[in-house]
Amino acid sequence: MESNGSAAGPSASAAVPEAAVGRAVEVVIVTGLSGAGRGTAARVLEDLGWYVADNLPPELIERMIELGVSADPPIRRLALVMDVRSRFFTGNLSAVTEQLRSGGVRTRVLFLEASDDVLIRRFGFARRRHPLQSESADGTLSEGIAAERARLASAKTAADVVIDTTALSVHQLHRKLEEAYGGGAPKALQVTVQSFGFKYGVPLDADMVFDLRFLPNPHWVPELREHTGQDAVVSEYVLSRPGAQDYLNTCRHLIDLTTDGYRQEGKRYMTVAVGCTGGKHRSVAVAEALGEALGEASADIGTSGQARRRQRSVTTQRPDRADMDIVRVVHRDLGRE
């Protein structure tokens, strides 16, 4: 990754809206060669809290910032993906960035590139035509890439950050972008612990599934049948069964191992599904206990009634790492007959 100074260039249409002056507005213009990772960069920036607008003509930047500042809540971090697919984009960004910066808008340009052989291989895997391929003299992919390099030469010169993705994996690119544009925010991982009933089906978005059907079912205990796993009498019954605590500790250990790996791979969301037969007793009790164990603190979210019974949030600073985990406990099938 290399840094360049901003270069001057011909005038471009991009005035700064008065509403943005004096406001904490950040703009990142994402550009570069087709196949070098613009789409990946856009997704990463979106995960980092940037509002991403794809293929926006330079003439609309002013209006986009204006709309963002006046939105509720206002958009303070705007990522604009610009490339040769747009006939309005000539590759010159100097005038645009200088106009924005002179108006007090913090503006950075990210340029992504890769070697010709890697770009050719990526286009071959994707089975797509290069956007400038048909404009080249012989219609070849190599000529299309060469034409795009020439057209975007001034954009690369104007870039604040240039990333060569030739030897980078998707996860390595993710980490570089996070370092450059994460704003110093903690790399929080949102973990959702979801109880469910197997008879209603396993949650489709589950990353891990734990089966509690090996524990005795409180449904067959008359005095517990009408209660749920959120009630102390049921929770104490379930968690005191032989093997319950060992299983709970093992679940937590596996989740800790997995979340550490997720964080390294740039993933920010994880769903842990905890199931029993009907999703009322065992899975609910263990999901509650697991959420407490993972979070080591709890705070009810601002809901009431049935919604409050079915979901709550746990946010804590783990003592063994500097980042912040957000743990949500959701009971999908609680209340079903």
Higher pLDDT, 17 or 192: 192
Q: Domain check: are 64 and 115 in the same one?
A: yes
Q: Domain check: are 163 and 202 in the same one?
A: no
pLDDT at residue 235, as a whole number: 96
Higher pLDDT, 64 or 14: 64
pLDDT at residue 225, as a whole number: 94
pLDDT bin (cut points 50, 70, 90) of residue 314 is very low
**Structural domain boundaries, residue 74:** 26-182
Q: What is the token pair recorded at 153?
A: 């030469």
The answer to whether position 318 is within a domain reads no
pLDDT at residue 14, as a whole number: 43
Instruction: Give residue 94's identity as a one-letter amino acid code.
Output: S
What's the CA dihedral at 222, 225, 229, 233 to 10 degrees? Answer: -30
Higher pLDDT, 133 or 214: 214
Question: What is the domain count for the chain?
Answer: 2
What's the CA dihedral at 115, 120, 122, 125 to 10 degrees? Answer: -160
The answer to whether position 19 is within a domain reads no
The answer to whether position 121 is within a domain reads yes
pLDDT bin (cut points 50, 70, 90) of residue 6 is very low
Higher pLDDT, 115 or 59: 115
Q: Domain check: are 163 and 33 in the same one?
A: yes
Residues 6+ apart with CB under 8 A from 115: 164, 166
Return the top range by mean pLDDT from 42-46, 303-307, 311-315: 42-46
pLDDT bin (cut points 50, 70, 90) of residue 229 is very high
- Among candidate residues 149, 182, 215, the one where a domain is terminated: 182
Give the annotated binding-site residues for ATP. 32-39
**Contact between residue 222 and residue 251 where contact means Cβ atoms under 8 Å apart:** no
pLDDT bin (cut points 50, 70, 90) of residue 185 is low
Q: Is 185 helix (H, G, I), strand (E, B) or coil?
A: coil
Q: Is 230 a residue whose pLDDT tops 80?
A: yes
The answer to whether position 1 is within a domain reads no
Mean pLDDT of 296-301: 36
The answer to whether position 308 is within a domain reads no
Q: What is the CATH number of the domain that holds 53?
A: 3.40.50.300
pLDDT bin (cut points 50, 70, 90) of residue 163 is very high
pLDDT bin (cut points 50, 70, 90) of residue 201 is very high
Give the annotated binding-site residues for GTP. 83-86
pLDDT at residue 92, as a whole number: 67
Q: Domain check: are 142 and 235 in the same one?
A: no
Q: Domain check: are 167 and 228 in the same one?
A: no
Whether the CA torsion 191, 197, 201, 202 is positive or negative: it is positive
Give the annotated binding-site residues. 32-39, 83-86
CA distance 315 to 302: 14
Q: What is the token pair recorded at 20?
A: 């943005």
Higher pLDDT, 181 or 324: 181
Q: Is 299 a residue whose pLDDT tops 60?
A: no
| Diameter over CA atoms, the chain | 82
Q: Could you count the other beta carbons within 10 Å of the beta carbon of residue 308?
A: 12
- Among candidate residues 155, 182, 209, the one where a domain is terminated: 182
Q: Domain check: are 261 and 175 in the same one?
A: no
Pairing mode of beta strands 161-164, 2-3: antiparallel
State pLDDT tens for residues 140-159: 889 989 989 988 998 898 88
Mean pLDDT of 125-130: 82
Q: Is 23 a residue whose pLDDT tops 80?
A: no
The answer to whether position 107 is within a domain reads yes
Q: Is 61 a residue whose pLDDT tops 70?
A: yes
The answer to whether position 50 is within a domain reads yes
Place of tokens 């069964």: 241
The answer to whether position 310 is within a domain reads no
